[in-house]
Amino acid sequence: MNNLDITFHTDGLRITNQRKKIIDVLTPFPQGVLDIMGALAKKQIKIDKVTVYRTLDCFTRLGIITKTLFNDQTARYELITKHHHHHLVCNCCGKVKDFPFEDNYILKKVGKQTGFQIQSHTLEFFGVCGKCRKAKI
Amino acid sequence: MNNLDITFHTDGLRITNQRKKIIDVLTPFPQGVLDIMGALAKKQIKIDKVTVYRTLDCFTRLGIITKTLFNDQTARYELITKHHHHHLVCNCCGKVKDFPFEDNYILKKVGKQTGFQIQSHTLEFFGVCGKCRKAKI
DNA sequence: TTAGATGCAAAAGATTTGCATTATG
DNA sequence: CATAATGCAAATCTTTTGCATCTAA
């Protein structure tokens, strides 16, 4: 019995073929539902979009992945890693870069100052990447 | 001639009645399109939703307001103030609190480390506010 | 066997587009 | 008067819901 089993079964959840396939294509890098469907398609796997949405919601509630809204109004999902990081999104080519940022300090500070019990936060940077800047000159 | 005129006219934009009314109800506090429509309705002002969207987009491109996506998948707009701040959103009652955070240092650091030219960033905290926490006990 | 999961169709909700009309500069 | 802005209808896009069927435990 591995960690995944334990996490799932405590909530009466089931490990299905679809869930296994979806977790296989998830990464510690933010992907939209279309990205995920595409990754599945590449492997000749066909899973209904609704199932993908429901699975991602399930994984999010279990704390396996995080959901972040990007500026293009779509949600991105990524596996949670020990080292929490944030993102830089290029407004020009859409490339996404990780940016490690130690935010424990600020999270504690915010909680103390405001009385809020912080459940999640988002920190995203948007701009133009080096390559696109050069291309414009 | 005030600053608003200059900003507008350099782009061949026009100051219309609708734009004046909309700017009147904008605040240095994030509002969704429905909030804005509501604020207008309270003043007996009827402006088409599409016009509101187009106006907000125009103001955003002019740098008068910022657009941020909240966890409920809708965009919020707020007047840009000298003192940039971030938000705490209560997942329970929806209340939004400001949280001042000096981020010049981190912005510069991110730009240097990654070669990105940062254009905007979002930092939002989501959790449960003090009142809702007490209410749950 | 039985409740949770899936897939299809359809709904919902936010935002965008097309186009004829209006009004600013 | 030229053209930017508006309003209406309809389209688009992402995400959610309902429901019959399937399947993991």
Q: Cβ of residue A114 near strand C, that is under 7 Å?
A: no
Burial B47-76 (b: 16+ CB within 10 A, else e): beeeebeebbebbbeeebbbbbbbbeeebb
Provide the whole-model pTM.
0.84
Minimal CA separation from B109 to chain A, in Å:
10
CA of A7 to C1' of D18 (A): 29
Query: What's the pLDDT score for residue B1?
Result: 44
Contacts with B, A 54-73, CB within 8 Å: 69-71, 73
Number of Cβ atoms within 10 Å of the Cβ of B109:
13
Residue B102 has pLDDT above 50, yes or no: yes
- Any B CB within 8 A of A10 CB: no
How far is residue A61's CA from residue A79's CA, in Å, rounded to a whole number? 12
DSSP state of A44: T
Q: Do B117 and A125 touch (CB under 8 A)?
A: no
Q: Do B123 and A123 touch (CB under 8 A)?
A: yes
The three-class DSSP label of residue B1 is coil
Task: Per-residue pLDDT tens, chain A, 137 aa: give them.
Answer: 455 666 777 778 999 999 999 999 999 999 999 999 999 999 999 999 999 999 999 999 898 999 988 888 899 999 988 777 788 888 777 788 888 777 788 888 888 888 888 877 888 888 888 888 876 55
- Any B CB within 8 A of A100 CB: no
| Half-sphere exposure of residue B89: CA atoms within 13 angstroms, side-chain side | 19
Rg, chain A, Cα only: 17
How far is residue B135's CA from residue B132's CA, in Å, rounded to a whole number? 5
Give me chain B's average pLDDT, please. 86
Lowest mean pLDDT among A76-85, B18-27, B99-108: B99-108
Q: Cβ of residue B10 near strand D, that is under 7 Å?
A: no
CB A91 within 8 A of CB A126: yes
What's at A128, amino acid-wise? V
How much of chain A is helix, strand and coil, in % rounded to 5?
Answer: 40, 25, 30
Per-residue pLDDT band at B4 (split at 50, 70, 90): low
Extract the tokens encoding B111: 């730009």
Q: Do B113 and A130 touch (CB under 8 A)?
A: no
| Half-sphere exposure of residue A6: CA atoms within 13 angstroms, side-chain side | 3
